[in-house]
Amino acid sequence: AMFTNVIVRRPSKSLVDGITSAPELGKPDYELALKQHDDYIAALKECGVEVTVLPALEEFPDSCFVEDTAVITRKGAIIDNPGAGTRNGEAKAMEPTIREFFDDDHIAYITAPGTLEGGDVMMVGDHFFVGRSARTNEEGIRQFIEILEGWGLSGSEVPLEFVLHLKTGVNYIEDNNMLVSGEFIEKPDFAEYNKIVIPEDEAYAANCIWVNGTVIVPEGYPTVLEKIQEAGYKTITVDTSEYRKLDGGLSCLSLRF
């Protein structure tokens, strides 16, 4: 499958108040975050997609991490119900944009008490792996799989213990290749894929995105970059240091479809 569209949202100044598990990394520098966001958009355009750039939302510090607000499949879009309290309203804010691409019959919702964030969803063809995390609960996964099955797609749950979202630690880069780190290296769910193992000291770079044959890799992770190039991919690197301070990676910053 090729992607034609990408949705991103500019970071807000309130970004400095975003959720983080790593306060020791310091607060993001807003100006640098903006520059990195420009570079991210440029990298996506280089991959041949149309980029819709939404304006910053000051009331939601984490709102640039649009991936968590919706899951877009080739059959329709699912509006999430984010499990993080301060982020929950971001899904509603995304809905009008989703409606520009999909009609009523092709939009579904995750509703309370179900919660689900897109960072927990990994698309592998017509199958979707869903991480059961602090943000995505059993009921959210049940609803999600029911919606997928109604569209002729499938899903399965992957429990996770140590990372924020499923895609913090595992990402599919097409052609049967999967980037795996930490707790995901040995998971039976991924046994059938060609695993590219991410070393612990470069764990952050498990979160790369495949966009139409090119893999976008975070800057500063040379082992991962080399392994991906050795697997035959063209690569583009983008510095995401300011987003990393908030546990955000390359996939978090866009919806790709």
Task: Please identify every residue annotated as catalytic.
Answer: 165, 252
Task: Map the footprint of ligand CIR across residues 130-159, applying CB under 6 A.
Answer: none
Enumerate residues 6+ apart whose C-beta is below 8 A from 111. Answer: 81, 143
Please count the residues of this chain forming the interface with ligand CIR, following the rule CB under 6 A: 20
Instruction: Name the residue type at position 111.
Output: T
Distance CA 94, CA 249 (A): 19
150: exposed, middle or buried (C-beta count within 10 Å: 0-12, 13-18, 19+)? exposed
Min separation Cβ 203 and ligand CIR, Å: 13
CA distance 217 to 235: 7
Site for ligand CIR in 39-78 (CB under 6 A): 62, 65, 67-68
* Least separation in angstroms between CB 139 and ligand CIR: 20
Smallest distance, ligand CIR to C-beta of residue 157, A: 17
Task: Figure out which of the listed residues 116, 173, 246, 250 binds ligand CIR, where binding follows CB under 6 A.
Answer: 246
- Residue 90 makes contact with ligand CIR by CB under 6 A: no
Stretch that binds ligand CIR, among 42-50, 217-225, 227-235, 242-250 (CB under 6 A): 242-250
Smallest separation (angstroms) from ligand CIR to the CB of 61: 8
Report the 10 Å Cβ neighbour count for 51. Answer: 15
| Rounded CA separation 148/48 (Å) | 28
Shortest CA distance to 3 belongs to which of 216, 235, 238, 210? Answer: 210
- Helix, strand, coil content of the chain in percent (nearest 5): 35, 25, 40
Shortest distance in whole angstroms from residue 166 CB to ligand CIR: 9
- Single out the segment in contact with ligand CIR by CB under 6 A; choices: 12-20, 34-42, 179-187, 218-226: 12-20
Q: What are phi and psi of 189, to 5 degrees?
A: -55, -30
Question: Is residue 190 within 8 Å of 176, Cβ to Cβ?
Answer: no
Q: Which is nearer to ligand CIR, 133 or 149 (CB)?
A: 133
Please tell me whether residue 168 binds ligand CIR under the rule CB under 6 A: yes
* Shortest Cβ 230–ligand CIR spacing (Å): 26
Please report whether residue 172 would count as binding ligand CIR according to CB under 6 A.
Answer: no
Nearer to ligand CIR, 23 or 232 (CB): 23
- In order of 115, 169, 179, 194, 249, the CA distances from 88 in angstroms are 9, 23, 29, 35, 19
Residue 215, beta-bridge partner list: 210, 235
By CB under 6 A, residue 165 contacts ligand CIR: yes
Q: Which of 84, 93, 107, 185 binds ligand CIR (CB under 6 A)?
A: 84
Residues that bind ligand CIR (CB under 6 A): 18-20, 62, 65, 67-68, 84, 87, 119, 164-165, 167-168, 246-249, 251-252
